[in-house]
Amino acid sequence: MSKKVKDFESFGQFNVVVFGGDGDLAFRKIYPALFHRMLDGQIEESFNLVAVIRKEPNIELLRQKVRQFLYSADGKPASDKQWEGFNKAISWIQAESAEVVHYAKLFSFLSQFPDYRTIFYFSTPSSAFGAISKALKACGLINEQSKVVLEKPLGNNLASSNQINTEIRQAFAEHQVYRIDHYLGKETVQNLMVLRFANNLFQRTWDSASIDNIQITVSESLGVEQRAVYYDQSGALLDMVQNHLLQLLCLVAMEPPHVLAADEVRNEKLKVLKALRPMTGDSVLTDTVKGQYTRGNVQGVQVNSYLEDIGKYQSKTETFVAIRAYIDNFRWKNVPFYLRTGKRMKKRYSEIVINFKEMEHNIFPAKEKLNNNKLIIRLQPEERIELIQMTKIPGPGGYRYKPIALSLDYMDSFKERLPEAYERLLIDVIRGNQTLFMRHDELQAAWQWIETLTESWKQSQQANILYEAGTWGPGDTILNPGTSWITKSWRD
Ligand code: BG6
């Protein structure tokens, strides 16, 4: 089990302490991520995984539940041997609340490993982050080697996010804080950096002179699942745009950092966020659309409306949002960035489409339309890059052409299992690389822009447009005047 399959660097000994250790995220993402890194030989069995939970632990049940989410690289359930190795690393510790008296068990457990570095993973609502940090500090559990991972959402507006940050910073320094956005751990998202900054081909075409518009879409077929309470307070804008979509936008739009170093990359992302054109009471009406799903049929299954899903008679929360955003700088002057995301859409897919400008002059006699080039970066469910280019149709009798994709499929090209986002991100925390984590000023800038939008929504009293589950959202139904852009290249 602990055999080193690849030649990985050694991380030394460490603890990962997960607060909210019996939460959905821990079972679905954090434990499987650590398990896979262990299977791959990247982390040793000698690390400690400490799951902190509020209730009296029923260890047998918890173990069964952890195992249920563990699969080996070939997709089969974890074998007994694989499971035993992982199970040995886990300890379940109860702490009823974030107070020093309740951290005694945690304290005595961690005291047995004075030389281990400790990563504290806060997988609880962010309202608890301040209290947990305070109690850890009071127990003397934080030192220069400690790190803290913060799950989103960090607050629900600029003020609450700043407040949480202030509380965290009383216990941890900024270089110890890892604000996670799992989209940045996706292989295809990281490949954006390589695509843009390792290929000369795109260097001189990545700007308003060559690009007509950029579309970033995260479409989900799922509804709100078991997260009604959280989701109804957030909505699509805060749940997806404030973090994932804005981060994707930053990677697509930022200037090249002069070296690949955490702060250099984050400085460039920050500049993009600061250059986002603020929304106003007028511009939200033409540049945003929000919607909420009603009953419908998603891939052959009849599903409830949002209101039925959350068990309420009414709610103003949006489950779909589309935004036309602009970045006011030299590179992107007047290039629209379309950001779209929604729940209960026709199907699940995420992609970034770079739409190049049309050819200015057509030399071909037939004058058939020359479609513009597109670079399509498919993030999920498949990981693929396509460059759509005009190609001659073979045969005599003059030039005829049509758009054809030059395609690179990640799975075909690399023929190995792609690590899940959380695997990469957790390893980066362990090795102390903050490049893929948001710095506080980035988060602030994202909130500042989002607030121009939420405030303008309030001011203009913009209402949700209802859309049927299983469709492409409000674009399929009635739109506000001036928002027909929403259907632009919306893919089938
Ligand atoms: C989470 C959101 O951050 O991302 C969820 O809270 C959403 O609502 C999820 O479903 C989407 O992630 P992925 O990786 O499945 O696209």
| Residue 239 CB less than 6 A away from ligand 1 | yes
Q: Which of 132, 149, 179 lies at the terminal end of a domain, its last residue?
A: 179
The CA distance from 439 to 418, in Å, is 26
* Residue at 224 is within a domain: yes
| pLDDT for residue 415 is more than 80 | no
Query: Using CA positions, which residue lies closest to atom 15 of ligand 1?
Result: 220
Q: Which of 143, 163, 179 lies at the terminal end of a domain, its last residue?
A: 179
- 460 and 473 share one domain: yes
Position 478 scores a pLDDT of 60
| Residue 351 CB less than 6 A away from ligand 1 | no
What's the pLDDT tens digit per position in 431-450?
999 999 999 999 999 999 99
Position 7 scores a pLDDT of 61
- 166 and 190 share one domain: no
- 55 and 164 share one domain: yes
| Ligand 1 atom having least distance to the Cα of 218 | 16
- How many angstroms separate the alpha carbon of residue 201 from the centre of ligand 1? 32
Which helix (H) or strand (E) segment is 217 a member of?
Answer: strand 211-219
| Residue 151 CB less than 6 A away from ligand 1 | no
Task: Select from 286, 285, 249 the least CA-distant residue to 270.
Answer: 249
- How many angstroms separate the alpha carbon of residue 205 from the centre of ligand 1? 32
- 4 alpha-carbon distance from chain centroid: 30
- 87 and 72 share one domain: yes
Instruction: Taking residues 367-377, report their average pLDDT.
Output: 88
- How many angstroms separate the alpha carbon of residue 241 from the centre of ligand 1? 11
Sign of CA dihedral 98, 430, 88, 182: positive
Instruction: Taking residues 451-473, report their average pLDDT.
Output: 94
- 21 and 147 share one domain: yes
- 228 and 142 share one domain: no
Position 477 scores a pLDDT of 62
The CA distance from 253 to 277, in Å, is 14
| Ligand 1 atom having least distance to the Cα of 350 | 16
Query: Using CA positions, which residue lies closest to atom 2 of ligand 1?
Result: 239
What's the pLDDT tens digit per position in 57-101?
899 999 999 999 999 888 899 999 999 989 999 999 999 999 889
Position 3 scores a pLDDT of 46
Q: Lowest-confidence range among 123-137, 355-369, 437-451?
A: 355-369
The CA distance from 203 to 112, in Å, is 53
CB 219 within 8 A of CB 349: yes
Mutate to test the pocket of ligand 1, among 150, 225, 239 (most ligand atoms within 8 A of CB): 239
- 447 and 481 share one domain: yes
Q: pLDDT category, 485, cuts 50, 70, 90?
A: confident
Query: Using CA positions, which residue lies closest to atom 6 of ligand 1?
Result: 239
What's the pLDDT tens digit per position in 182-209?
999 998 899 999 999 999 999 899 999 9
DSSP secondary structure of 275-321: HBPPP-TTHHHHHEEEEEEESEEETTEEE--HHHHHT-S-----SEE
Q: Which of 36, 175, 182, 244 is catalytic?
A: 244
CB 147 within 8 A of CB 178: yes
440 is catalytic: no
Structural domain including 133 reads: 14-179
Tokens matching residue 204: 């001189």
Tell me the CA distances in angstroms from 366 to 157, 356, 361, one per residue in order: 56, 22, 13
- 254 and 320 share one domain: yes
Task: Select from 480, 451, 489, 485 the least CA-distant residue to 291.
Answer: 480
* Residue at 227 is within a domain: yes
3-state secondary structure of 359: coil
Query: Using CA positions, which residue lies closest to atom 14 of ligand 1?
Result: 183
The CA distance from 262 to 395, in Å, is 52
Total domains in the chain come to 2
- 115 and 252 share one domain: no
Position 1 scores a pLDDT of 46
| pLDDT for residue 302 is more than 80 | yes
* Residue at 1 is within a domain: no
* Residue at 285 is within a domain: yes
CATH code (residue 90): 3.40.50.720
Q: pLDDT category, 2, cuts 50, 70, 90?
A: very low
| Ligand 1 atom having least distance to the Cα of 227 | 8
- 248 and 216 share one domain: yes
Which comes out higher in pLDDT, residue 225 or 341? 341
DSSP structure class, residue 356:
E
The CA distance from 118 to 13, in Å, is 9
Q: Average model confidence (pLDDT) for the chain?
A: 92
- How many angstroms separate the alpha carbon of residue 48 from the centre of ligand 1? 28
* Residue at 55 is within a domain: yes
- How many angstroms separate the alpha carbon of residue 98 from the centre of ligand 1? 27
Reading across the β-sheet that carries 320-325, which strands appear in turn?
A: 401-409, 384-392, 374-380, 349-356, 211-219, 337-342, 320-325, 288-294, 465-468
- 167 and 203 share one domain: no
> Long-range contacts made by residues 407-410, C-beta under 8 angstroms, separation at least 24?
408/384, 409/382, 409/383, 409/384, 410/187, 410/188, 410/382, 410/383, 410/384
The CA distance from 224 to 310, in Å, is 8
Strand-pairing partners, residue 323, are: 288, 339
Position 346 scores a pLDDT of 92
Residue in this structure with the two tokens 């190609």, named with its chain if needed:
391
Q: pLDDT category, 475, cuts 50, 70, 90?
A: confident
| Ligand 1 atom having least distance to the Cα of 231 | 8
- 110 and 222 share one domain: no
- How many angstroms separate the alpha carbon of residue 23 from the centre of ligand 1? 15
Which helix (H) or strand (E) segment is 89 a member of?
Answer: helix 80-89
The CA distance from 327 to 329, in Å, is 6
Q: Which of 124, 154, 179 lies at the terminal end of a domain, its last residue?
A: 179
CATH code (residue 328): 3.30.360.10
| pLDDT for residue 321 is more than 60 | yes
CB 422 within 8 A of CB 185: yes
